[in-house]
Amino acid sequence: MFILETLRLYTPVYTGFIRDIGKEATLGKLTGLDGVQCHIPFIMIHHDPKIWGEDVHAFKPERFLDGIAKATNNNPTAFMPFGMGHHICAGSNFAINEAKITIAMILQRYSLTLSPGYVHAPHPGLTLRPAYGIQIILNAL
């Protein structure tokens, strides 16, 4: 739940994806013409209060207690930190497993405290990363 909520708030691929509309299509009140490109930024979907609630900007891992479908009000396409469908990142499962193993190994040996000089500043680029690095203090257990 911790990892999923982190991926929702700080989507790894900040830019989202661009798709070409193959033929005229209508989505709600919008009509896309053949040949037009549609940009879908993941970060906007992951921060939509209509999907995630009024506390959309709060870090609440318990959102995912009953799975992604329940967290998104049965709209699993509202959570796509690594893309969706046949365009999903080939390394998404590796990234999730690597994160789980790394966090487990760190927490076995250390307690974590935010540095007093910590500045929360996500920096967008191709990927979203901390502008000033990870400012934490590791204390041996």
Task: Give the residue among 91, 98, 136, 95 at the shortest CA–CA distance from 118.
Answer: 136
Q: Determine the pLDDT at residue 12.
A: 81
Check whether 89 is labelled as a binding-site residue: yes
CA dihedral 113, 118, 120, 121 (to 10 degrees): -130
**Mean pLDDT to the nearest integer, 109-117:** 94
Separation in Å, CA 66 to CA 22, 83, 98:
36, 21, 23
The pTM of this model reads 0.82
Q: What integer is the mean pLDDT of 65-83?
A: 89
Question: Over 90: is that where the pLDDT of 108 sits?
Answer: yes
Position 71 pLDDT exceeds 90: yes
Q: Distance (Å, rounded) from C-alpha 80 to C-alpha 102?
A: 22
**Amino acid found at 38:** C
**What is the average pLDDT score of the chain?**
88
Strand runs (DSSP E) across the chain, as ranges?
Answer: 17-20, 25-27, 30-32, 37-40, 110-114, 122-123, 129-130, 136-140
Helix, strand or coil for residue 23? Answer: coil
Is the CB of residue 106 less than 8 Å from the CB of residue 123?
no
Determine the Cα–Cα distance for residues 115 and 131; give it in Å rounded to an integer.
15
